[in-house]
Structure formats: structure tokens, C-alpha cells
A = this chain, B = another copy of it.
Amino acid sequence: MPDDPQWKEDYEDAVQKLRDAGLRITNPRMALLKVLLDQKLPCRIEDLHQQVGPQHCDLATLYRCLATFQELGIVRRCFLNDGTSLFEIVSPNREHNHHVICKVCHKVESFDVCVAEGLEPLVRKLGYRDISHVLEFFGICEDCQENESPATAKNLSKK
């Protein structure tokens, strides 16, 4: 992946942002950045932790790095319907995507349309500043529909 010129550009960009902010280029940060750049889709923090290598970076550090990256506009954090979050790299090279998330297996699919952007001016007109939005679709994916027993479909969801 690091051979990809686009990957490299995003990487350099992020490093520059850190430098500009007077922040240090540390191993955990670089490891995380590389993992983030390798993702095609937004990622749960546990997955990131797994990929960075749990021995290379503490979970607490991961949260701190991600918070830092978010402040610098390097990553976007997106809160899901189950209270957890996904993180994804922000890059002018990557489109602003929304996602379809399976309620059962948490698989994420990209969805390259953003109908919501057009509404932000309307929100601005209401007097709001620093506007962002969340648009995510939730459903049950084909695989999970098959694996789901007819019984569970009827039950009120319980463990």
C-alpha cells in the first residue's frame, strides 16, 4: 500500500499536520496512521487495535491518538446506532461516503452518495456554525438473513 502515490500523499499530509501542530511523530501514532490508511471502510476501534498489534499500542493511547487525529482533521469519527463508533481517514482523495451497516454482524458497506450535504446550508440558515452530519443506514445483510433462524426473527431480541 505505501507504494500507492495516493496513500503516500495522505500519509505525508497527516504527518505534516502533526508537525504543524507541534506534535511528535511517535511510533503508536505512525502505526495507527498506517493502519487507518490501509482501511477501505470505517473501522471499529477494536479492529484498529488488532491491526496495529495490541502489543504495539495501548487501547487508551489509541483513543488518545484518534482524538488528536480528529482534532487535526485527519480522521472522522462516526457514532453508530449501538453506541460504538467507527473511525475513518479523511482525505481529499477519498469521497465523503455514507454507509450501510448490518445490525447483526456489523459489516459496513460504502454508499457513495451524500444527499445530506445539500441540507447543510439550511442548517446554517438556522444560525448554526461548525456543522457536521451523520447519515447512516442500518439493515440486516443477506448473509445474516440466511443465518437467522425463523424463530429469532419473531422473538423480541434477547440474548
Contact = CB atoms under 8 A, between A and B. Distances in A.
A120 interface: yes
B133 A135 contact: yes
A128 B140 contact: yes
Contact of A145 (B68, B111, B129, B136): B129
Nearest to A84: B83
Interface string A113-143: 1011011101110111111111111111110
Given A79-B81, A83-B79, A126-B109, A139 B134 contact: no
B135 A135 contact: yes
A138 B145 contact: no
Nearest to A128: B139
B71 A156 contact: yes
A20 interface: no
A129 B139 contact: yes
A115 B135 CA distance: 10
A100 interface: yes
B116 A128 contact: no
Given A21-B156, A116-B116, A128-B137, 10 more contacts: A71-B156, A79-B79, A79-B82, A100-B126, A115-B116, A123-B137, A128-B142, A130-B140, A132-B137, A134-B138
